Each structure stands twice: as structure tokens, then as C-alpha cells.
Amino acid sequence: MPVRLSDFPRIRYGMPGNAACPGCPEAMGLRYVKMALGDNAVLVIPAGCSSVIQGYEPKSGINFPIMNIVFASAASLASGMKAAFESQGKDVNVVVWAGDGGTGDIGFQALSGAAERNDDIIYICVDNEAYMNTGIQRSSLTPAGAWTTTTWTGKKEYKKNLPMIMIAHDIPYVATASVGYPQDFIDKLRNASAIRGFKYIHLLAPCPVGWKFDPRYTAKIGQLAVQTGLWPLFEYMNGKLKISPFSRLYRRPEKKVPIMEYIKLQGRFASLAKDPEKIKVLEKEIERQWEWIEILEKATNNKK
Amino acid sequence: MVSEAVIEEPKTYWKAPISHPDFGSVGKTGLWRTERPVIDEEKCTKCLLCWLYCPEDTILRREDDMVFVDYDYCKGCGICAAVCPVNAITMVPELKEGE
Amino acid sequence: MVMKTLTGNFAVAEAVRLARAKVIAAYPITPQTTIVERLSEMIEKGELEAKMVRVESEHSALAATLGAAAAGSRAFTATASHGLLYMHEVLWWTASSRLPVVMAVAARAIGAPWNIHVDHNDIMDQRDTGWIIGIAQENQEVLDMTIQAFRISEDPYIYLPVMIALDGFILTHTVAPVEVPDQKEIDEWLPPRRQAYIVSPETNVVMGNLTSDDDYYMMRYSIQVAQEVAKKIIEEVDLSYGKSFGRSYGGLVECYKCDDADYVMLLMGSWAGDAKEALNVLREKGINVGLARIRFIRPWPSEVLKEKLKNKKGIIVFDRSISFGNVGQLFMETASTLYGMTNMRGVIAGLGGVDVKPEDFVGEVTAFVDDIERGEVYDTIKWLLPPKYRNHKLEVTL
């Protein structure tokens, strides 16, 4: 349900004076989690940018109670924490806020385990498409063609499709989101928190430092990812997949944005931008991805 | 049987990795800026998009929803200026030429 | 109070039930499996009101247990050998977070190659982590120590996690008669859970973000202080339990006939039973020997050992583990307390579950005493080979 921006109470949603880079999408995302869930949430944060964003003890630069934990264990710690709150008869949102590394690579086992158990937590993967905190090394969620400090001539492999993997886990809620569309993300958080079981939200988080763009464009690039069709926004709830409103614009010819608009703004795609053949391959990949999603949408909604 | 533990003060010398959310965990990040956002209140339509997109929570709302900047902590990223639909925000260099 | 015939693992399960643990998260590994199986059964039959998180690895097991502890519930896990090694980084994180947690460890040899029988290398590997580490000799003691572990861990003077070890298969799978206290008696003896902080929306606590190097150092100091104070608390808990349930074990160290002894055997675990048998044989032969059975390797009972052992003619330490490239760990720990004060020998024996009989203890102690009386104490470390290799000609004899 959309809420007018002016309806949000005039309180602090973030915690200024933290260690996030200027224009950081994780800092943006955390404010939206606060807008959606309010005070009734505990975050579980594994090693990553958000560990450092908190800054120095005795203060913390994120406006939530947080259990920081080692890299591989966020989902399992959250499962234990939720079990404890349940045994106490308390209804507290336990939210994992993990990066792409802590979700798709070193944290994958714990993620899959918690999803299979259908533990009642909200798992948010804040995806800046590399191991940013340790200096921009590639992860399995880095897109093909992207420069990183461990893929100087561009990553050869494709981005691991975590949202589809999570749908295959048969959990009650999977959604994709982008910091470019905060209201969509907030809606999805609210929908997720009303469901019992394992909820997964994959938040695209364009990183000015790692993706090499001027920090003022974080929101714009978050929008372009959706408008070019590269990052489809959808919501898979109780077995039915629905493409989100902002993403439907991709299918309207007058609204569709060419992928070059997204690529040319990012320094990490400098060599990709000079290669029209690779851009064509990328356009085909985007189309193929959309065909899959549309098939899923038809099938799960029993549309004729 | 409710099983939440009782919180009891430790009885030996205690130093543990415990913090609380608070402003300025790495200091006054306003000092990081090389340019600052300046809001033209005449042009502003109070759409609140700058408030929505600001990563730092340093765009604040007055009673009438007119926005203003918390310059103690604003890092000068420029997202507010980029998202403003009526170009009411300009990024102005912190230091003038020659300074 | 009820008498039951229980394996060591079932004794752990009974203790966890009596302690009213609320969240249990564990991953199966031989020889710990029946602890978790029994607890699962208890929960599903309504004998224990708790939530079980059937995690997908040991690393996750301790993380889930820690999460439950942080949220304010009494939490328990159990593991062995490779599982304990797998969760090693979480052991550090748990102790450093100062949250009370209890873990049972079925002491088991480490690979390669695979070996599911007892040795103490897995628990010895965890000495640095900040955990309080206890080890039992018999199933009754396993039950008693596990209950006490909750009280020790949740003591406001301590606030550190506690692990209780029991020898794999020898205790875990062997049945013995065990007195099981009533729930009502335990409810009176074991206080409700206390901890220094809870991470929840009410408290708004953040655990574990960055800190200055100076503050980090002082946090380490704080853990050490708690370990020091734990020495006294463990003794008090042992006495208090004895008053309520009739069984005390001597605190950090069980001193079996060592006050009047000239020579003392020092070891830990279930083979202390064989050593006690050997001791009686040795005494009949006129060798005045005693036994110091270590019950807690952390905190290391240096004051107790110094007081009881410094004037002995010789201490012989039996290690069921080895720190490759140096000596046995129990020997190292003992030497750190008694260096220069007395003759010491270390014997490496029983690795990988090799059986060590009372005659072996008799043989080693006799040889040690002979060497001292002759004025020749060399061979500070000796590897007691398995019987079928004892007569082999080895190029290098250790």
C-alpha cells in the first residue's frame, strides 16, 4: 500500500555521523528498513560494509539494535535469535542485513539452511555486486564484464541468480528491490513482515566507489538498472510471482531505456562499453531473463 | 514459562563490545564535504524526494515539510541535488577558488 | 531423585532437560549424536519445553546458539572433533561477546584419517578461546558438571561460555548408573538465567562493532579477570552442589590420595579410572603415588596445583593429545605452573582411542620413580606406543 511521504513521522531513520562513503546505497537501504519496520526489529549483520558503517564503540552508526557476527553465519544466528524470541512469546522482526558475499558465497550454506527450515526471519541481501568492504574484489554476484580488483579485464562468469535460487527453495516470499525505488522496497518489507516463514529480499545497491561513478548518481543508477530491464523488480508471494509496477515500464516501448544508458555511467564497465558485440549479448541476456520471469508470472498466476 | 533472562550487572571488571546507536560514531562527518547542498526554498515544492533519498538522514523536515540540511553530518554526496525534480538544490563548493 | 542407567550422552540430555534450556541448535557428529537425538525426542514428547533448530553445520550450530543467548534465552549445543574445529571462529566470537552458553563436547580424535574414538586434541585446541573448559571422568560427573555449567556460565562474576567434555564412546556410549535429581530440586539450586545484556528492540544494544585498539585490549583483560575469578566460583559451585545433591568432586582438581604422596600422576578424562586402579597396585608395591585429576583446563588451576604439588618428588603427566612439534598440552600447562619446582615427565598415550590399561600406568610410573631414585631424570617426554608396536625397532625413539 503506498503511503504519502509526508505521512512518515518526522523522526530520525538513519544515524548520521556514520562511516559510510558519501552516496552509500547501504546507508540508504537501512533508512528504508527503519521506515518499513520501525523500532520492532533487530538486525543481524555479518562482515561487510555495514559492519564498518557502524563506526566505533561505544556508539553505532546504524539506527537499530544489532548483533554483529562472523561472515558465514548471519542466517543461522538469526534463526537461533528468532527461536529464542518465539520461546519468550515475543513478536520481534529478526532481520539479516547481509552483503552479496555474506549471502551468495561464504554465507550461502547458512542461507540455504535457514530457508529450507523456513525459519521466520527476513533476509535482506544488500547487493553491491562485489566484496566492497575489503576493496572491491569479485563475488559470485558480480555481473559479467565488470572490472574488480580480482577481474581486471572484466569478470568472465555471469551473475549468480540468487532470487531464482531462493524461489526454488519454496519459501513464502522472495522479492527484488532497488535503492532507486524506495517506496517499492518499503512496500515489500511491509508485506514480508506480515508473513510467517523465511522471507528473502534482494536489494540492488549501486556502489559509487566500486562501480566507479559520481556519488550523486546512486539513486539514478538504481533506477536505470530497473528501467533498462537489467534488474527486474518482482514479488513472489505465497507461490505467485508478480512483476512490480516500476518494472512493468520496461515492456512499454516508449519507456524502455537502452542498456548503454546504464553501462556508460559506470567506470567498472569501461571496457564493456567499448564492445558493441558484448552489449548485444547483454541485451539478449536481459530479454532471456525477462522471458523466464514472464513464464513464471503466467504459470504461477494460472493465466491463460 | 517465559524464559527471558534477567539483565544483571557484571560483578568483575567489565569491558565488553557493547554499543548503542548514536550520532557521530566516527565524528562530525560534515567535515568530509568538498561541496555542500544549498536549498532554494522558493523553488522547493516539498515533494520530499531529497529527504527520501538522502543516505545520511541529514535532510530534515520542518513542521510544514519544508526541508533543510543538517550540515554537521551531511557528507555532500549530491544525491539530493540529482533527484530534485525542480532543481531547487545546488551543490556549492566548500572552498572558493584561491582559498 | 531417581536412579537411571544412562550413557554419558543421555546424562547430558537429562542435565539439559533439568536446566530447562530453551533453545537447542546442534548438528550431528559421532559420538555426540545421541545427545541431540535424545533432546529431540524429549522435546517432541513434551518432556522438555524448548525449540530445536536443526542447523545445517556446526558453524551454524554455535551461531544459532549464540543468537538465542543474545536474545535472552538459555541455549545449548553439542559437538565433537571436526565439528568443534569447524565452529572454532564462532567459539572466539561467543566468548568475546561475554554471553553465557553451554556446550557438551564428546572428545574425539581429529583426522586425517577418520577416527571416531577418544582423544583430547579437539578440546585442547580450544584452550585459547576464552571458554571455560571442564572434563568429566564418569557419567554421573557428566550430568552433574553439565548442570553446574549453566550456573557457572551465567554467574555475574563470570559471564563466559562453558564447555563440558566427555570421552567419546568410553563415556558417551557406555551405560552406567546415574542419580538424576528431581526437577524441583534443580529449580531450587539453579538460579534463573542472568546475563549482562540482551540484544532486543527494548535495549537497543549493538554488539561487536569496531572499537579502538586500547579498548579491545581492555576487553581481553576483562575476559582474563573473569577466568581468574571463575577459579573460586567453580569451587563454590562444586561445594554448593555437594550440599544439595550429595556429590562434590574437589573443584578444579580432584586430588586422589595425593596429600601424602611422594609422586603424583596428573591427567584428565575417563582413563583416570584406570589410573586410580593402577595407583592402588603401586601403593601395594610400596610406591607412594597419588593422582591429580584435572577437572577444568580453563581456567587453569595453577594455584591449586602449585600448592598441592610443588613439594613432590616427581610429577608424571599423561597426555591423551599432542601438540605436534613440542610436547603434550597438559604437560605444557603443568610445566607453566611447576617449572623448576619438581621433576616432571610427560607421557603421550591413548591417541586415537588406543586403550591404556592399569598395567600401562603401573609400568610408566614405576619407570619414572626408578629414574628419579637413581638420580637420572631424562626422557622428559615419552610416547607410550600401542602394544603391537612396542617391540618394533624404530629409527627414532621419542
Among the listed residues C220, C241, C224, C58, the one whose alpha carbon sits nearest the alpha carbon of residue C148:
C241
Give yes or no for a contact between C379 and C371, defined as CB atoms under 8 angstroms apart.
yes
Instruction: Flag whether residue A62 sits within 8 Å of chain C, measured between CB atoms.
Output: yes
pLDDT of residue C394: 79
Q: Which three cell numbers stand for residue B20?
A: 548503542
**Alpha-carbon gap: C56 to the closest alpha carbon of chain B (Å):** 26
Enumerate the residues of chain C whose CB falls inside 8 A of the CB of residue B15: 215, 218-219, 221-222
CB contact under 8 A, A69 and C66: yes
Residue count (chain B)? 99
- Cα A199 to Cα C236: distance, rounded to the nearest angstrom: 47
Interface of B with C in 21-80 (CB under 8 A): 21, 25
Enumerate the residues of chain A whose CB falls inside 8 A of the CB of residue B48: 5-6
Q: Which of A73, A84, A116 sits opposite C59 (nearest CB)?
A: A73
Q: What share of chain B is helix, strand, coil (3-state, %, to 5)?
A: 15, 25, 60
CA dihedral A279, A285, A290, A291 (to 10 degrees): 130
- Cα A99 to Cα A104: distance, rounded to the nearest angstrom: 8
| B-chain residue closest to A64, CA distance | B21
When computed from its CA atoms, the radius of gyration of chain C, rounded to whole angstroms, is 21
C186-241 pLDDT, tens digit per residue, is 999 999 999 999 999 999 999 999 999 999 999 999 999 999 999 999 999 999 99
Q: Which three cell numbers stand for residue A180?
A: 532507486
Chains in contact with C, counting 3 or more C-beta pairs less than 8 Å apart as contact: A, B
Instruction: Flag whether residue A65 sits within 8 Å of chain C, measured between CB atoms.
Output: yes
Q: Reduced to 3 states, what is the DSSP secondary structure of residue C52?
A: strand
Q: CATH number, domain at A237?
A: 3.40.50.970
Here the ipTM equals 0.95
Q: Which amino acid is at C201?
A: P
| pTM recorded for the entire structure | 0.96
Strand (E) positions, C242-362?
253-256, 263-267, 289-294, 296-298, 314-319, 343-348
Handedness of CA B24, A14, C69, C162 (dihedral sign): negative
- Cα A7 to Cα A63: distance, rounded to the nearest angstrom: 20
Asked if the model's pLDDT at residue A34 lies above 70, the reply is: yes
CB contact under 8 A, A60 and B22: yes
For A285, how many CA atoms within 13 A lie in the half-sphere containing its CB?
15
One-letter-per-residue 3-state SS of A125-179 = EEECCCECCCCCECCCCCCCCCCECCECCCCCCCCCCHHHHHHHCCCCEEEEEEC
Enumerate the residues of chain C whose CB falls inside 8 A of the CB of residue A92: 200-201
Chains in contact with B, counting 3 or more C-beta pairs less than 8 Å apart as contact: A, C
Chain centroid to Cα C283, Å, comes to 28
For C232, how many CA atoms within 13 A lie in the half-sphere containing its CB?
7
Chains B and C form CB pairs within 8 A to the count of: 86
- Cα C231 to Cα A264: distance, rounded to the nearest angstrom: 65
CB contact under 8 A, B48 and A6: yes
Asked if the model's pLDDT at residue C105 lies above 80, the reply is: yes
Which residues lie across from C185 on neighbouring strands?
A: none
Q: Which three cell numbers stand for residue A286?
A: 536481459
The DSSP symbol for C192 reads P
- Cα A29 to Cα B56: distance, rounded to the nearest angstrom: 11
Residue C248: Cβ within 10 Å count: 16
Report phi then psi at A69, rounded to 5: -150, 165
Which residues lie across from A52 on neighbouring strands?
A: none
Which residues lie across from C289 on neighbouring strands?
A: C263
Chain centroid to Cα A83, Å, comes to 25
Question: At CB < 8 Å, which residues of chain A contact B?
Answer: 5-6, 10, 12-20, 22-25, 27-28, 31, 54-65, 87-90, 182, 208, 214-220
CB contact under 8 A, C66 and A77: yes
Pairing type for strands C296-298 and C132-135 reads: antiparallel
B15-54 pLDDT, tens digit per residue, is 999 999 999 999 999 999 999 999 999 999 999 999 999 9
Interface of C with B in 159-188 (CB under 8 A): 159
Give yes or no for a contact between C265 and C291, defined as CB atoms under 8 angstroms apart.
yes
**Alpha-carbon gap: C30 to the closest alpha carbon of chain A (Å):** 21
Pairing type for strands C51-53 and C102-107 reads: unpaired
- Cα B17 to Cα C60: distance, rounded to the nearest angstrom: 22
Give yes or no for a contact between A46 and A75, defined as CB atoms under 8 angstroms apart.
no
Q: Which of A57, A82, A87 sits opposite C215 (nearest CB)?
A: A57
For C112, how many CA atoms within 13 A lie in the half-sphere containing its CB?
0
Q: Which three cell numbers stand for residue A41?
A: 526489529
Q: At what angle do helices A218-227 and A25-37 cross, to 10 degrees?
A: 80
Question: At CB < 8 Å, which residues of chain C contact A?
Answer: 22-23, 25, 49-51, 53-57, 59-61, 63-73, 75, 89-90, 93, 199-201, 203-212, 215
Chain centroid to Cα A129, Å, comes to 10
Residues 6+ apart with CB under 8 A from C230: C132, C152, C155, C157, C158, C160, C299
Our count of domains for chain A comes to 1
| A-chain residue closest to C51, CA distance | A83
From residue C213, give the alpha-carbon distance in Å to each of C97, C220, C264: 16, 11, 44
For C366, how many CA atoms within 13 A lie in the half-sphere containing its CB?
14
**Across chain A, which distance is largest between two alpha carbons, in Å?**
59
- Cα C131 to Cα B51: distance, rounded to the nearest angstrom: 47
Report phi then psi at C275, rounded to 5: -65, -35
Interface of A with C in 140-169 (CB under 8 A): none
Q: Which of A15, A22, A28 sits opposite B23 (nearest CB)?
A: A15
Please name the residue that has the C-alpha cell 574445529. C85
Please name the residue that has the C-alpha cell 548503542. B20
Residues 6+ apart with CB under 8 A from B99: none
pLDDT of residue A2: 58
Q: Reduced to 3 states, what is the DSSP secondary structure of residue B69?
A: strand
From residue A160, give the alpha-carbon distance in Å to each of A39, A140, A141, A166, A185: 33, 6, 5, 11, 21
Interface of C with B in 193-232 (CB under 8 A): 193-198, 203-209, 211, 215, 218-219, 221-222, 225-226, 229
Q: How much is the average pLDDT of C2-10? A: 98
| B-chain residue closest to C204, CA distance | B20
- Cα A185 to Cα A172: distance, rounded to the nearest angstrom: 17
Handedness of CA A233, A238, A241, A243 (dihedral sign): negative
Which residues lie across from A66 on neighbouring strands?
A: A43, C206
Q: Which three cell numbers stand for residue C14?
A: 537429562
For chain B, list the domains and their CATH numbers: 38-93 (3.30.70.20)
pLDDT of residue A303: 58
Q: Which H/E stretch holds residue A218?
A: helix A218-227
pLDDT of residue A1: 52
Q: Which of C23, C54, C70 sits opposite A67 (nearest CB)?
A: C70
CB contact under 8 A, B5 and C74: yes
Enumerate the residues of chain B whose CB falls inside 8 A of the CB of residue A15: 21-23, 25, 57
Handedness of CA C301, C302, C303, C306 (dihedral sign): positive
Which of A3, A4, A6, A33 is the best mutation test for B, with the most CBs of B within 10 A?
Answer: A6
pLDDT of residue B99: 63
| B-chain residue closest to C198, CA distance | B7
pLDDT of residue B1: 47
- Cα angle A219, A220, A223 (rounded to 5 degrees) comes to 90
Q: Which three cell numbers stand for residue A35?
A: 521506515
CB contact under 8 A, B26 and A55: yes
Band (pLDDT 50/70/90 cuts) for residue A262 is very high
C274-314 pLDDT, tens digit per residue, is 999 999 999 999 999 999 999 999 999 999 999 999 999 99
Q: How much is the average pLDDT of C154-158? A: 98
Interface of B with C in 11-30 (CB under 8 A): 11-21, 25
Asked if the model's pLDDT at residue A304 lies above 60, the reply is: no
**Alpha-carbon gap: A237 to the closest alpha carbon of chain B (Å):** 26
Give yes or no for a contact between C266 and C330, defined as CB atoms under 8 angstroms apart.
yes
A94-141 pLDDT, tens digit per residue, is 999 999 999 999 999 999 999 999 999 999 999 999 999 999 999 999
For chain C, list the domains and their CATH numbers: 2-245 (3.40.50.970), 253-389 (3.40.50.920)
pLDDT of residue C130: 98
Which residues lie across from C103 on neighbouring strands?
A: C77, C163
Mean predicted lDDT score pLDDT of chain A: 95
Enumerate the residues of chain B whose CB falls inside 8 A of the CB of residue A14: 55-57
pLDDT of residue A255: 81
**Alpha-carbon gap: B99 to the closest alpha carbon of chain A (Å):** 23
- Cα C260 to Cα C280: distance, rounded to the nearest angstrom: 14
Report phi then psi at A251, rounded to 5: -85, -5
CB contact under 8 A, C200 and A40: no
Residues 6+ apart with CB under 8 A from C388: none
Q: Which three cell numbers stand for residue C356?
A: 591404556
CA dihedral A87, A91, A97, A100 (to 10 degrees): 70
Q: Which amino acid is at C280?
A: N
Q: What share of chain C is helix, strand, coil (3-state, %, to 5)?
A: 40, 20, 40
Please name the residue that has the C-alpha cell 551454524. C60
Pairing type for strands A93-99 and A66-69 reads: unpaired
Q: Which of A18, A28, A219 sits opposite B82 (nearest CB)?
A: A219
Q: Which of C74, C197, C226 sits opposite B18 (nearest CB)?
A: C197
Asked if the model's pLDDT at residue B96 lies above 80, the reply is: no
Q: Which of C53, C60, C207 sits opposite A67 (nearest CB)?
A: C207
Chain centroid to Cα B35, Å, comes to 15
| Full domain range(s) for residue A198 | 5-300
| A-chain residue closest to C23, CA distance | A84
| B-chain residue closest to A7, CA distance | B65
Q: Which three cell numbers stand for residue B76?
A: 555532500
Interface of A with C in 173-212 (CB under 8 A): none
Handedness of CA B76, B80, B81, B82 (dihedral sign): positive
- Cα C345 to Cα C323: distance, rounded to the nearest angstrom: 16
Say what percent of chain A tops pLDDT 70: 99
Among the listed residues A163, A162, A207, the one whose alpha carbon sits nearest the alpha carbon of residue A49:
A207
